[in-house]
Amino acid sequence: MKITEFVKGFMISVNTGIQHLFRKRMTTMYPETQNYPTLDMYAYDPRKGIAVSGWRGRHYLDMTKCTGCQLCYIACENISEAIEMVPLPETNYPQNKKKIFPAVDYGRCVFCGFCVDACPFYALYMTPVAELSEYDRNDLYYSPYELSKPPAVNPTPRAKEKIDIKRGVYDER
């Protein structure tokens, strides 16, 4: 082996080492920067029959639209029994005369999104917030009031239309 080849190989490895010093860091510094994969809410449009793609995390319940029809409960009944209809007699919404709302047990929920698909009144969404870990099992049970609070991150609403040319998929958001 000639000494010039040895020096050349050595210099190449030093060069790649120096290049890596100035590259963008690959690791996501998680608790400081919370960059979620997407901020879209998973939703379903029952009139058009199109599901809007999004990250499936904690639910968001719109209590001004929920009619207490129990379709989300029926969808969840044979999957994991996470949703339970809870009577809230103190509420006074005109569309919900039975005064029952869904409550979700996140110890059982598998985030399949079938409850969102089943809702015909645009009342259930899924937000990208997935950090739901707790010390106590009972804290994983979310009441309708907790579900109706918007999450700390701001997910985008689904009002505007969009066509994704790259994937060749119609995405109506």
Instruction: Please report how close the Cβ of residue 29 comes to other proteins at its closest, in angstroms.
Output: 8
Instruction: Please report how close the Cβ of residue 38 comes to other proteins at its closest, in angstroms.
Output: 12
d(CA 66, CA 52): 19
**Cβ proximity to other proteins, 7 vs 34, nearer residue:** 34
Instruction: Please report how close the Cβ of residue 57 comes to other proteins at its closest, in angstroms.
Output: 8
**Cβ proximity to other proteins, 4 vs 138, nearer residue:** 138
List the one residue out of 68, 121, 80 whose CA is nearest residue 104.
80
**Cβ proximity to other proteins, 11 vs 152, nearer residue:** 152
**Cβ proximity to other proteins, 2 vs 137, nearer residue:** 137
Instruction: Please report how close the Cβ of residue 104 comes to other proteins at its closest, in angstroms.
Output: 10
Instruction: Please report how close the Cβ of residue 154 comes to other proteins at its closest, in angstroms.
Output: 12
- How far CA 109 is from CA of 42, 78, 128, 131, in Å, comes to 16, 12, 15, 14
- Binding residues (CB under 8 A) for other proteins: these are 26-34, 36, 79-81, 86, 88, 105-112, 130-141, 143-146, 152
Burial readout 23-53 (b: 16 or more C-beta within 10 A, e: otherwise): eeeeeeeeeeeeeeeeebbbbbeeeeeeebe
Structural contact between residues 121 and 66, judged by C-beta atoms closer than 8 angstroms? yes
**Cβ proximity to other proteins, 13 vs 133, nearer residue:** 133
φ/ψ (deg, to 5) at 169 = -120, 140
- How far CA 149 is from CA of 145, 165, 168, in Å, comes to 7, 35, 35
